Chains A and B, each alone.
Chain A
Amino acid sequence: MRINRIQNQIRETEEESSKLVEDLSLIDLLIKKYKNKHGNLIPLLQGVQSIYGYIPRDAFFKLNKEVGLELSAMYGVATFYSQFRLNPVGKHIIKVCHGTACHVQDASKITDALMDSLKINDGETTEDNMFTLESVACLGCCSLAPVMMIGEETYGKLTNKSSVKVIKNIKIQESKATNKE
């Protein structure tokens, strides 16, 4: 079950994330929108995650105080669904598809190549907080397998080389952007 995976992650990064302080006023609008609606727990958590990229620990307490949701219920839901993250993520999230079609077309090789190139393991974030590497179940572009998704962009018919090249291109763009600043 996923909970093991998530709990392991928490133990590893607990120290780091406790240092991180997020501006919680960003979720006030969200709370206003969903307060007093039934079935609001998942949309609230989804909303929080879309703001910060993950669900900060303090956000749980804020939701508990202002919306009245039980901490245990929120934590239960956040660890149940694969969408939710309890740790900060990189700027670019690389989702490598490991659906059946991609598996048959050797998706694990793509993950291996990316792990090699980024020097991180599956599920981890690079030191510069630029990339997070994830494996996902299915992106629904099976006929283009193997596939990965970065942001809203999907890349199909990957090879080890082409997948690493995509990452390199993003790195180049990023460094150009920082140079301009």
Chain B
Amino acid sequence: MKKQIIVGMGSCGIAAGASKVYDKINDIIIADGLDVELKKTSCIGMCYKEPLVEIIDTNGRFLYGDITEDRVIDLIDKHIENHEPIKDLIVDSDMFEGSEKAYFDGQVKIALRNCGYIDPECIEEAEEHKAYKALKMIANKPILCETIIQTIIDSGIRGRGGGGFPTGMKWRFARNNRCKMKYIICNADEGDPGAFMDRSLLEGDPHAIIEGMIIGAYAIGASEGVIYCRAEYPLAIKRLNIAIAQANERGYLGNNILGIKGFNLDIYVKEGAGAFVCGEETALIASVEGLRGMPRKRPPFPAESGLWKKPTNINNVETFANIPYIILNGADSYNKYGTEKSKGTKVFALTGKIKHGGLVEVPMGVTIREVIFGLGGGIQDDKKFKAVQLGGPSGGCIPEHLLDIPIDYDSVNSTGAIMGSGGMVVMDESTCMVDMARFFLAFTQDESCGKCTFCRIGTKRMLEILTRITEGKGKEGDIEQLEELSEQIKDGSLCGLGQTAPNPVLTTLKYFRHEYEAHIHDHKCPAKNCKALLTYEIIPDMCTGCTICAIKCPTDTITGSKKEIHFIEQEGCIQCGECYSRCNFDAIRIY
């Protein structure tokens, strides 16, 4: 067997230096004339160990983490030429326990089944990993459309984009429409800041999404497909286009697909132009039609009148990625995971102040604590956990005492957050919750399309109040006004963006009201994050009189001469933090 070296080349891997590693390995292979096959794959989800390099030889597979450019020579020298695996760098392996075994063991990979295991630009490899097998099964038997829809309903899968509407039901609505021309759209406009599940799927296993769309198109009777993808994901767009061309060549797309008479489907990629609101179905359709992406009133739902006024079915990337697995293995193989009302698995993007940031797929029903402290390894630098943000700008912050709730749609909703698309941003004690709420409001305010008055102006007023609070100019009654505005925006907005925009404020008010009060009444930021509310002071015992702070102070408010204890005049201090970051003796205290 020829040895294989596989380099993880997802966007995040490349950002960590994977392409340089790939080039270097390639150079060595050519220079030394090694009999090794060098391949690429995409993200396996273990972003905190990037760049990742996998070696497969007669002894099995060895996954190495943290393989930077300077470690390449050593790795090839020891493992390839002398058959001695470098144990310290192995994160997972067939032969012995890697350091990150727990990270893999805790996961159930269904949507991510091929991510990081196949070369996403090679359809043969995807086919070896069962790509298009479900489609072939449908074509060979043949399976009726209604049976497929029933299988999807039985599997219990709900829309993974955040809404959580049962996918099978959505398909049935579209199926029941008698119109001849129907569309199927894949929503890959992953706009949630702090979430990258869809990007990894699109980059890592584009064929799974295309196959899911083909099966969906067959079930509902659609003949044209659109993948609406963010322009910020150039690699995903490139790989999708390659995959579509390959699928066309193989007859998975085109006319009379796999011999099914009258089943024609073409799929093309539509690049988004950067608007968060286009994640909403009707706004997305407007954008595909070349208009401003503004949502419209529903009904009529897209299943009746969608793209070009024709029945349209829209599902999220992750939803489509699950479909081939469900069809191939049966509904039971999927609904055996999860809780009563939330079946299957869910992919989460673990980010923020967490040790093991990356992508994880877990069965519904595990607790948030298990994900953060089990798979995620806990908080960076072993600081204290404060909150986890679920659901992006539409979601909320969940405090520590609620960490043991199971992850399913209904339990998460009961906290005031939402499941969302799967972003999980972990915050520690140094994150200010008022600032967090302000951050999300700034985002939604900027992204509001402007159609509904309450969303357009309401979010602006809320942002002004929040900004004022973080600048230490909070007033009595601000909290109450925030609550009042929140309710009005929720009631007075047409689409999900507006209806959920106040969630970050409402949840932080619910669980961290004391932080708001500290800002307003005591003019203090408990997390020591809001600059305007900080006081800088020199600790006399620690000061050596090196004068660096006095030299660097932009307002010359630090007094003291050489080798004498310095002093900050509070009146002139602008809280820039320059003295704090310059001091070499930890002699500056913030409170």
Contacts and interface: CB of A to CB of B under 8 A. Distances in A.
A100 B349 contact: no
A10 interface: no
Given A38-B308, A39-B290, A100 B352 contact: yes
Contact of B232 (A76, A138, A145): A138
Interface string B442-476: 01001111100000100000000000000000000
The listed residue with most A CB atoms (<10 A of its CB), out of B47, B199, B351, B450, is B351
A80 B232 contact: no
A44 B536 CA distance: 54
Contact of A143 (B48, B287, B291, B447): B48
Interface stretch (A16-24, A148-156, A172-180): A148-156
B450 A140 contact: no
A98 B15 contact: no
Contacts of A144: 12, 15-16, 47, 50
A46 B290 CA distance: 11
Contact of B191 (A3, A77, A84, A137): A137
A122 B289 CA distance: 32
A77 B286 CA distance: 11
B232 A140 contact: yes
12 contacts: A2-B446, A76-B292, A98-B193, A100-B351, A100-B439, A100-B440, A103-B193, A140-B232, A142-B196, A142-B349, A143-B357, A156-B15
Given A83-B273, A100-B351, A138-B193, A42 B290 contact: yes
B288 interface: yes
B587 to A, nearest CB: 21
A141 B273 contact: no
Contact of A137 (B193, B287, B425): B193
B389 interface: yes
Nearest to B15: A154
The listed residue with most B CB atoms (<10 A of its CB), out of A80, A84, A98, is A80
Interface of B: 11-12, 14-16, 47-48, 50, 190-196, 199, 231-234, 271-276, 287-293, 308, 349-353, 357-358, 389, 392, 423, 425, 427, 431, 436, 439-440, 443, 446-450, 456
Contacts of A145: 351-352
B19 to A, nearest CB: 9
Contacts of A80: 275, 292-293, 449
A105 B529 CA distance: 12
Contact of B11 (A46, A81, A137, A140): A140
B448 A1 contact: yes
A114 B138 CA distance: 56
Given A46-B273, A103-B439, A141-B15, 8 more contacts: A1-B446, A1-B448, A73-B291, A76-B292, A77-B291, A136-B232, A137-B447, A154-B11
A48 to B, nearest CB: 12
Contacts of A98: 193
A39 B288 contact: yes
A2 B277 CA distance: 13
B488 to A, nearest CB: 19
Given A83-B274, A84-B273, A140-B233, A77 B292 contact: yes
Contacts of B308: 38
A140 B20 CA distance: 20
Contacts of A84: 273
A103 B436 CA distance: 9
The listed residue with most B CB atoms (<10 A of its CB), out of A77, A102, A103, A136, is A103
A57 B383 CA distance: 53
A2 B16 CA distance: 32
A147 B351 CA distance: 13
The listed residue with most A CB atoms (<10 A of its CB), out of B11, B48, B450, is B11
Nearest to B380: A105
Contact of A81 (B190, B275, B431): B275
A143 B47 contact: yes
A38 B308 CA distance: 9
Contacts of B423: 100, 142
